[in-house]
């Protein structure tokens, strides 16, 4: 989620271009990427995962052919880092943003490519206008690897750094068990104390997705099964993410079939084009009233 800080008095006069960039907000920063929903899931739902990224030929020609890996987070919340072997890692779950996550992450990649292997990567919090992920990456589905810890971050030298080791221990301690589900794209199960959640990033436009969920709610078809609860939904980077509370004891695999059944009901309902009836309109109001927005 982005955080904005007030400028000191007079800062707008001193740096008008920077102030202008700060005010820009892109509601769907990953729109146009083939795996938009997974980018959102890695940004908002998944504690520890990585995926290789492929640079466009013109970027390789300018900066060299260095492997680039997308990571949910990096040590000490770095936006990017370079390992001694030349590999570049970029963090997706950053706290300081300009309002366009795609631009921020793209700038972090480019800054890392300009940095010598093993050196600290300096990335501006407000990068200004420039290329976005859609401009520097060869687009395609993300090849996501789920991790139980963050040891994949480090090369041998970094693993000996006391600050990095401490950050690694803190990060590992914060991980809730999370499983990528196969019944629906960009759906994840996670276990938290006393219960578990199933969360699914819906690829459909927000209005259409909300209407489908409202129809399902009015029909009593919004649950994943007995002892489950529709906890609500949130808007993340322009798309809807419904959340279910499920019992904590069953493993993730036990929810594949219920989620597959719901996904079919959702797809069938999404195809309906008639106006919402009174019950569905009331259900929609209830869903909207419980909706949160993540930026």
Residues 180-202 pLDDT 10s: 999 999 999 999 988 999 999 99
Please tell me whether residues 119 and 76 are part of one structural domain: yes
Assigned domain for 98 exists: yes
Do 87 and 30 lie in a common domain? yes
Band of residue 18 on the pLDDT scale cut at 50, 70, 90: very low
Mean pLDDT of 240-266: 96
Residues linked to residue 260 through DSSP beta bridges, in sequence order: none
HEC profile for 204-234?
A: CCHHHHHHHHHHHHHCCCCCCCCCCEEEEEE
Mean pLDDT confidence for 228-249: 95
Are 228 and 145 contained in the same domain? no
Kindly state whether residue 7 falls inside one of the protein's structural domains.
no
pLDDT grade for 216, boundaries at 50, 70 and 90: very high
Over residues 133-176, the pLDDT tens digits come to 999 999 999 999 999 998 888 777 777 788 878 878 888 988 99
Who wins on pLDDT, 97 or 173? 173
Domain count, the chain: 2
Give the per-residue pLDDT at 294.
57
Q: Do the bridges between strand 195-200 and strand 239-246 make them parallel or antiparallel, or are there none, so unpaired?
A: antiparallel
Domain boundary pick from 173, 205, 231: 173
Judge if 191 and 164 occupy the same domain.
no
Q: Per residue in 31-89, pLDDT tens?
A: 999 999 999 999 999 999 999 999 999 999 999 999 999 999 998 889 999 998 999 99
**Measured CA angle at 191 (ends 75, 251), to 5 deg:** 125
* pLDDT given for residue 112 in this prediction: 98
* Beta carbons of 86 and 66 less than 8 angstroms apart: yes
Q: Is residue 253 part of a domain?
A: yes
pLDDT of residue 163: 83
164 and 23 inside one domain: yes
Residue scoring higher pLDDT (6 or 213): 213
Residue 24 belongs to domain spanning: 13-173
pLDDT at 49: 97
Predicted local confidence at residue 293, as pLDDT: 64
pLDDT of residue 20: 42
135 in the same domain as 42:
yes
Residue 17 has pLDDT above 80, yes or no: no
Is there a single domain that holds both residue 235 and residue 102?
A: no
């Amino acid at each position: 989620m982005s955080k904005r800080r007030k400028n000191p008095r007079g800062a707008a006069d001193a740096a008008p271009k920077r102030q202008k960039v700060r005010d820009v907000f892109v509601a769907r920063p990953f729109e146009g990427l083939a795996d938009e929903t997974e980018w959102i899931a890695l940004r908002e739902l998944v504690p520890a995962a990585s995926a290789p990224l492929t640079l466009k030929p013109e970027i390789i020609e300018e900066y060299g052919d260095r492997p680039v890996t997308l990571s949910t987070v990096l040590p000490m919340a770095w936006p990017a880092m370079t390992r001694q072997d030349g590999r570049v890692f970029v963090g997706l779950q950053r706290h300081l943003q300009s309002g366009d996550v795609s631009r921020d992450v793209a700038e972090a990649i480019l800054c890392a490519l300009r940095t010598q292997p093993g050196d600290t990567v300096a990335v501006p919090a407000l990068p200004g206008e420039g290329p976005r992920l859609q401009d520097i990456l060869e687009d395609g589905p993300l090849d996501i690897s789920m991790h139980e810890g963050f040891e994949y971050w480090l090369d041998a030298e970094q693993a000996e750094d006391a600050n990095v080791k401490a950050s690694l221990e803190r990060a590992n301690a914060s991980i809730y068990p999370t499983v990528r589900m196969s019944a629906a794209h960009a759906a994840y199960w996670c276990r938290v104390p006393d219960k578990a959640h199933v969360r699914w990033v819906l690829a459909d436009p927000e209005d259409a997705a909300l209407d489908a969920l409202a129809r399902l709610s009015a029909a009593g078809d919004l649950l994943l099964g007995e002892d489950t609860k529709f906890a609500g939904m949130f808007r993340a980077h322009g798309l809807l993410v419904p959340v279910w509370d499920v019992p904590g004891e069953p493993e993730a695999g036990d929810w594949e079939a219920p989620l597959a059944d719901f996904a079919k009901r959702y797809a069938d309902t999404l195809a309906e084009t008639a106006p919402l009836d009174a019950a569905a309109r009331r259900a929609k109001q209830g869903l909207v009233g419980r909706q949160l927005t993540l930026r």
